[in-house]
């Protein structure tokens, strides 16, 4: 290892898993920088490495263990945190040489481990950090985590075991963070949690304060406050509770993006009951119709599990029928995978792996057709898009219907005039475009001069 004695201690970070874990990583990086640590760009250039793991499904566990092994091989000094860290034995059985293991959302424990194995240098000049903290996303969008944990006990999920019951952040703290992000140049906030629409339930919707005014700690009130910030606000991980109805008019009025990410997971009443999910497909279809009457531009994204234990061909056909009726805009799906500690592991009648894969292929084929037709209808329309990146021959942007990384893109061919400084074509800019083509996932557009 090279001699690093003449510079600040440097910590590398590998962040795995969902956006909620990414927010935890941002908190760790912010704290490290506040205490004078440098952030390493690779394993070899770091004095130690933190691996923020995911432990939601077996493939994520495998990826986390592989990343820990890679960090140990490349660097040798590794601290493990995150959801998989709640199962210390799983990590130490395969990688006994790690320096420390902490669970998820454990900033103080992570910093204690860092202090033990790489003490900070005390230099007040290195403690200057931006008011919004250190972000790992591009400058123009950021995740805003409003709560931790979950009160649901879905049979396939171990998140409550890893992160505990719902704990809502004070609404004043959430709004203060949001305002700082806007002031720093963020143009889109992606609101996340384990159960976004349950925000405030745990504190009985107590009154908080923002800008000197009393504000109720509730999902609907938080949405109203965020809608006043004048940027894109996108809602993720929303359960379809009745009071979600209250925010649909805000979407139609432009205060919130007309976008809801709702993890339906299935549509068969039998499977939903086995999953211990809090909704039924007939109710959902009625709600979708109601929401679309209020907000015709509403886009719905969802995720589903196929091959859940006990899923019959009839159950799967119900799921396909739901897809046809619901006409969802963006859909992700995966085959059921047993997770250590999940009650679903004890359910009878597991589905054979080849049947799971066959059903997943059929499911995605149906949704691909729905998506292609919905996107085709946008040809000839005009919309405002947010630029994410500039490539050699195209501008990569997103519409209001597209969240980063998980949804589609709007791809705009670069013309000679786009090189002019007056065009202001750069990531984080909004531009108006006309849609000229579409495929199953993406839109193609020309810029409106």
Q: What is the mean pLDDT of residues 131-158?
A: 82
Distances (CA, A) of 125 to 27, 36, 53, 225, 397: 20, 8, 32, 36, 38
Contacts of 227 (CB under 8 A, 6+ apart): 233, 250, 255, 256
- Using DSSP's 3-state secondary structure scheme, residue 376 falls into helix
* pLDDT of 421 strictly over 50: no
Tens digits of residue pLDDT in 164-175: 889 999 999 999
d(CA 81, CA 381): 46
Q: Give me the pLDDT at residue 160, please.
A: 83
Q: Both tokens of residue 83?
A: 């959801």
Q: What is the mean pLDDT of residues 65-92?
A: 91
Band (pLDDT 50/70/90 cuts) for residue 422 is very low
Q: What is the pTM of this model?
A: 0.77
Q: Both tokens of residue 391?
A: 């490539």
Q: What is the mean pLDDT of residues 284-292?
A: 93
Distances (CA, A) of 179 to 122, 148, 183, 251, 378: 30, 20, 6, 20, 33
Q: What is the mean pLDDT of residues 275-289?
A: 83
Tens digits of residue pLDDT in 319-333: 999 999 999 999 999
Band (pLDDT 50/70/90 cuts) for residue 124 is very low
R_g of the chain computed on alpha carbons: 23
* pLDDT of 15 strictly over 70: yes
């Amino acid at each position: 290892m090279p001699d690093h004695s003449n510079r600040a201690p440097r910590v590398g970070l590998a962040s795995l898993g969902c956006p909620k874990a990414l927010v935890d990583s941002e908190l760790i990086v912010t704290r490290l920088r506040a205490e004078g640590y440098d952030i390493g760009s690779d394993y070899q250039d770091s004095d130690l490495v933190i691996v923020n793991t995911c432990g939601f499904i077996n493939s994520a566990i495998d990826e986390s263990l592989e990343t820990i092994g890679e960090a140990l091989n490349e660097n040798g000094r590794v601290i493990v945190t995150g959801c998989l860290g709640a199962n210390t034995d799983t990590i130490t059985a395969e990688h006994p040489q790690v320096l420390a293991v902490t669970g998820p959302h454990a900033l103080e424990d992570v910093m204690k481990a860092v202090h033990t194995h790489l003490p900070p240098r005390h230099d007040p000049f290195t403690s200057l950090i931006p008011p919004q903290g250190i972000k790992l996303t591009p400058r123009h969008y950021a995740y805003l985590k409003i709560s931790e944990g979950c009160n649901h006990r879905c049979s396939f999920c171990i998140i409550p075991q890893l992160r505990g019951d719902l704990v809502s952040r004070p609404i004043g703290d959430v709004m203060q963070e949001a305002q700082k992000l806007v002031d720093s140049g963020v143009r889109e906030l992606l609101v996340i949690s384990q159960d976004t629409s349950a925000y405030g339930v745990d504190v009985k919707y107590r009154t908080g304060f923002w800008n000197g005014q009393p504000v109720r700690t509730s999902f609907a009130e938080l949405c109203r406050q965020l809608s006043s910030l004048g940027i894109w606000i996108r809602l993720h991980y929303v359960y379809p509770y009745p009071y979600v109805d209250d925010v649909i008019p805000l979407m139609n009025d432009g205060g919130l993006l007309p976008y809801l990410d709702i993890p339906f997971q299935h549509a068969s009443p039998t499977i939903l009951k086995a999953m211990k999910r809090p909704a039924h497909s007939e109710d959902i279809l009625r709600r979708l119709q109601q929401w679309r009457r209020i907000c015709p531009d509403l886009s719905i994204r969802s995720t589903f599990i196929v091959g859940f234990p006990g899923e019959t061909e009839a159950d799967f056909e119900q799921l396909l029928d739901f897809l046809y009726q619901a006409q969802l805009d963006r859909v992700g799906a995966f085959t059921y995978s047993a997770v250590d500690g999940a009650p679903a592991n004890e359910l009878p009648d597991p589905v054979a792996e080849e049947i799971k894969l066959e059903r997943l292929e059929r499911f995605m084929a149906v949704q691909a057709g729905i998506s292609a037709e919905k996107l085709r209808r946008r040809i000839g329309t005009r919309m405002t898009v947010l630029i994410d990146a500039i490539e050699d021959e195209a501008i990569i942007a997103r519409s209001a219907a597209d969240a980063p990384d998980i949804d589609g893109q709007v791809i705009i061919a670069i013309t000679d005039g786009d090189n002019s400084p007056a065009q202001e074509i750069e990531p984080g800019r909004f531009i108006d475009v006309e849609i000229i083509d579409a495929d199953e996932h993406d839109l193609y557009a020309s810029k409106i001069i």
